[in-house]
A and B are shown apart, each in its own frame.
Chain A
């Protein structure tokens, strides 16, 4: 789809034009200006109940310009990539961030363009018929997987995002990000009503992804999951040990810990992790990493949306908070405050963090050219430990085994979170017993990090996710080994759970 007739972005906006736009942006003052140009094409095919219900495709292209003057950021965007359009947007951004001091000089732009995307088969080179066929295969496999299957829904999405970033510090770089994703939802029905099961796969990759991940196998897994839920009992209510299967619950650490490690939340003292760098914040078994360089993963990037090379950042190492995630703005402010660590409020919040080691911020991302960048995660995961995953269950006399966690939400100021559970089993006397449904996990991010008491030697990345922050969605990956949290609150719809010693009670199951 990214047709040959379209000019590459860097032909459309070359160094000379970028420098001219940046100079105009700084003409009335300001210490930093940035030009972000984006060309995005997407395609979606959805199947529902055996019918190809929707095919849609779209194209958007534009530029966002920002000017930073002191504490103020001015931002304007335009869909008009002509010289006139870009200069007008530069003027609008500079008017918003008008400052009394003279503007910074624009450094010579040094071209550093990332190579072609590491994609074997560009989705745009694959006919729409092949995408329809992918969904048909999934549909058929799910229908035949289990007699209780009633409905199958499947959605294929692809996107190609070409970006170019130039800034007054001399950055001039571009990236080409191709992603594909397949999601399947199966509804099964039985005596207990209807239940759904889902599966999803995605990557910063081309159509070859579906050679590695068989759509039929995914569909059967979703169907089995729905069928198992038909037999599930309502989940109990109460605080208990919770074992989370590898690759199924990384989203918990993304939400409950990752967001609190974003420097924008920290800078506003809006994070339970503010001022805690160098301190033991988690169980010594915990090492948490954000890594945009994981080739092919859903949250992988060549450069972030501020033009800085993708990086691997260790956030928590053996339980000690070692670093935060940064974007340009927060790094600039913190660097300035660094001179008086322990004196200025900002210096205190970031005391002990690794910022000043000459590293560039690498977590500045944005949904599109219409949005200001901010600190975002990429692929965030917990590193594996040493325990045999099966042994973790065997060592648990009573608790909940989470085989797939759903979406969740966190209050970054308090760290309190809530997550839905889409597949879970009771653990009784060290064995998985019956499936349970309709439950939430509720807890606190700092506490859950401290309460991790066993970490498995396995590891898997989870489903492709979209992280929402202040109204902007970006693709993120999550992952984790099998692990156990000593105590978490399970909010089910059945009565209060008691340990086997006290006699297991399921309370009001009837609806």
Chain B
């Protein structure tokens, strides 16, 4: 119990540090403290010798879809739940409930205790204690989004659909034009004195355009996202969707070749996510990462610096706390080509004897935390996208990839994925191609980065992208 008391003392400092920054956006007696109160109450139910953590989240979402000048659907919903971890003598159990009612939460705690009894005990299993770091002064909540009337959202979706259709005569239709927004609040408390709370809003417009000529159809998607409606640029969503669909018209399967490849930002972001997944300390500990044992080595071209920075307020995945309540920090993964560190949650950091990186993430209240990342990003280079094309001269410009969940082996690093895009000739985009695969290994790809663009693109995902040129891959076509 003494240790418990210590934890609480330290914990009382962490939230104090957070409050001055959070205060301007928090309404007095608002919903946040209600969630934290529930989490703290559950943590207080810990029995002697037991660690208990409660993660409480609540979210409101709206989605409006427009189709052919009419509203196709409007959904609005609030969901909330609690995920509970119990650790007893190195054994962890987890349970959740999709409810904030005390009776359901008590049931979940009972289940988590029961589950813990069956786990294999390990010295490194356990909850984190507060580390005294100050959280980043993030302000991710926009009151104007919460106040936006439904009529405005409907209007935005309808207008996006209309504008996308009228942008190019080759646009046959719009598959869907969608407005979406969400407001999320979460709170975490543990019997070791962790206490954190956070809330964020997000909104966006997305559209998929179908362009056609003759019997052929091609699809392109575009989006714009932000934390508040004022940050959205609808023209960008419709413009991207139409450009990406139209430029693929007439695409053919090219002959197989080995050639340089340029990833446009969305594709680069997909690959950065894969690299970050392989950098999970958990994967490394289990010997299923291509990066195992390579710390300090030059694993990439010196042009490439890759980091995960949840403290950057402009990042879609910005967060002051990780999903175990630790204060998020900027983690450099690959610095000028050198592998600098892996990502860890509390248990994997203890097991590896490594410095914690506050990289615990959850898929919501229904899953326990595991190692992940928040806001992976490459340091932008000095070339514009046009200059990247000019440098490469001849190659394949990849607009989208498919099959990454099955075509990439994070153990061996080998990959082969479907791709569509355009050929690059004389430094410019040329004829479109489809039905090809591109193959290489992550190891080779990272070493063969020959240009990094300055066109950093924030995506609605945990990774941002930019133009990236790779000197050689094998393209399989006809």
Contacts and interface: CB of A to CB of B under 8 A. Distances in A.
Nearest to B93: A55
Interface centre among B99, B118, B476 (most CB of A within 10 A): B476
Given A52-B119, A62-B98, A411-B219, A418 B414 contact: no
Nearest to B211: A413
Interface in A484-511: 489-493, 495-496, 511
B335 interface: no
Interface residues of A, number: 77
A239 interface: yes
Contacts of B287: 150-151, 187, 194
A490 B414 CA distance: 15
Interface string B438-470: 111100100000000000000000000000000
A76 B437 contact: no
Interface string B70-82: 1111111111110
Chain A: interface secondary structure? strand
Given A52-B119, A73-B72, A493 B414 contact: yes
Contacts of B172: 269
Interface stretch (B23-31, B45-53, B106-114, B387-395): B106-114
Given A54-B368, A72-B73, A196 B411 contact: yes
A493 B118 contact: no
Chain B: interface secondary structure? strand
A267 to B, nearest CB: 10
A58 interface: yes
Contact of B406 (A52, A419, A496): A419
Contacts of B176: 268
Nearest to A92: B76
A493 B440 contact: yes
A58 to B, nearest CB: 4
| Chain B interface size, under 10 / 10 to 19 / 20 to 34 / 35 or more | 35 or more
A51 B120 contact: yes
Given A56-B115, A187-B288, A440-B417, A409 B402 contact: yes
Given A187-B288, A409-B418, A71 B72 contact: yes
B478 interface: yes
Given A72-B73, A268-B175, A438 B439 contact: yes
A3 to B, nearest CB: 9
Nearest to B216: A414
Contacts of B81: 60
A59 B107 contact: yes
Contacts of B286: 48-49, 151
Contacts of A489: 253, 435, 437, 476-478
A195 interface: yes
A160 interface: no
Interface string A398-411: 00000000111101
A61 interface: yes
Nearest to A48: B286
Nearest to A50: B120
A65 to B, nearest CB: 10
Contacts of B474: 237, 493, 495
A395 interface: no
B416 interface: yes
B70 A237 contact: no
Contacts of A62: 79, 98
A413 B476 contact: no
A270 B175 contact: yes
24 contacts: A52-B118, A53-B120, A58-B96, A71-B71, A72-B72, A73-B72, A75-B74, A76-B77, A79-B99, A128-B115, A194-B287, A195-B411, A234-B414, A237-B439, A239-B478, A370-B77, A409-B405, A413-B219, A417-B418, A440-B403, A442-B436, A493-B416, A496-B256, A511-B441
